[in-house]
Structure 1
């Protein structure tokens, strides 16, 4: 049996998907842990991010508008960079295409979700920094092997009713994930 080789395009898309999924679940986890956010507010964020994505429609200048708008609330580029760097290592992104894809997915999701949170829920510098610090903390837990990303997904499923395809796939292979008790 031969070795299966994946195209660089496919590897990049795998990285993008991983970056999006990880960033989304960790932002939800942080919002839930810090301010008690749940399904209703998550749905608002998802709708806004979908709207922003349609607006961007693969246009770098439009994405730059959202990223630059976060300068008003003093988004910490250092905290964002640490988060992305640690998450790529923590989820074991390998190869150039997956590396580029995961970073793009993380950046895109991070920016659009934080933009939505600032606009819809009035987050300013202090709350945004607290959120970013929590995300960096979670990334470090994953990097250090203390927690797996699927454990955050399971927490969001049990506590907020969120569903994640990645968690379903993981549990189909490994059995039900038990995070409490």
Structure 2
């Protein structure tokens, strides 16, 4: 909670950190996707629907940084993953990406961009400060400074508000400060 010239603001520290992480990931993912080759390829068993999606989106998956090939009827051998998710999510993330392609979007390019955006929004959530974490004054200042540098500091990537503002008039109305002598 912070006081402003016009009232006060409540800041959701998880949503704020999620926004910061999302924009960092989005910047890292723009342009050429760097990949990390796995020391040992990982086999992932897919459902029949996931195999169908894999077959029709192999190029899109490669654009995201997943190099994989179908071996057998339902097994995908993953050879590379995007560097930015190598440690946090790993090759199993390919299943989540495939499910993002089900959205029925109009074109493959829209589908890939939307899948990337949804994936980044989910990845931004995992390392974010939780709502019940006590922050020191220095970490609050750092969080607010990083939030201030975001393109959209007002909502997390899932659309939840980061900042809720109450102006002085609303606060006075809520405390029924509208009669003489209580200005």
TM-score (norm 1): 0.31
Which has the larger helix fraction? 1
TM-score (norm 2): 0.31
Larger Rg: 2
